[in-house]
Copies of this chain bind each other. A is one copy, B any other.
Amino acid sequence: MDSTGPTNHAEAHVQEILSRLRDLGYRATPQRAAILRSLATSTHHPNVEQIYESVRADFPMTSLATVYKTLAILKELGAVRELSIAGESARYDCGGPDFHPHLICVECKKIVDLETSSAANSTCEDVAAQTGYQILGERHDYFGMCPECRQER
């Protein structure tokens, strides 16, 4: 059986992306590893500041600029997705290229992933066929109030 916890899944994912970086001529620095680790283990789609704080717990010398630069590379690789939200700094999503909708609490700003319910991928093809666009990506967010925040009213 599988005696490894979720932490090891995350670590495996981190290692995979690190070696992908190396293959492309990028360097696998400890800062980058720490940033990836922070993303891989966080569940609520942190913003840059939160990633920065989390990384600094392990590497107090890490700078905000490095976090930004690393995220830019990871975005290009498709290893990380960026979510811009009105009135907030960007949030980051470590999922792979697979699409899923987000559920965003307007009160506590928590973001959780929704299970891909129905024929999500086929919709892209429908849109492409209808419009003549070449569809490259998709984003589907629901805004609401989570059960915890609702209770506090």
Contact = CB atoms under 8 A, between A and B. Distances in A.
Interface of A: 82-87, 90, 101, 103, 105-106, 112, 114, 117, 124, 126-128, 130-147, 150
Given A101-B127, A135-B143, A137-B144, 16 more contacts: A84-B87, A103-B127, A103-B131, A114-B127, A114-B130, A117-B126, A127-B142, A128-B144, A133-B142, A133-B146, A134-B145, A137-B143, A138-B140, A139-B141, A139-B143, A140-B140
B142 A124 contact: yes
If over half of A's interface residues share one DSSP class (helix, strand or loop), that class is named, otherwise mixed; here it is mixed
Copies in the complex: 2
B85 A84 contact: yes
Contacts of A84: 84-87
B141 A138 contact: yes
A66 to B, nearest CB: 19
A87 B122 CA distance: 28
A49 B144 CA distance: 30
Given A86-B84, A114-B127, A150 B134 contact: yes
A133 B117 contact: no
Contact of A143 (B114, B126, B130, B136): B136
Contacts of A133: 103, 105, 142, 144-147
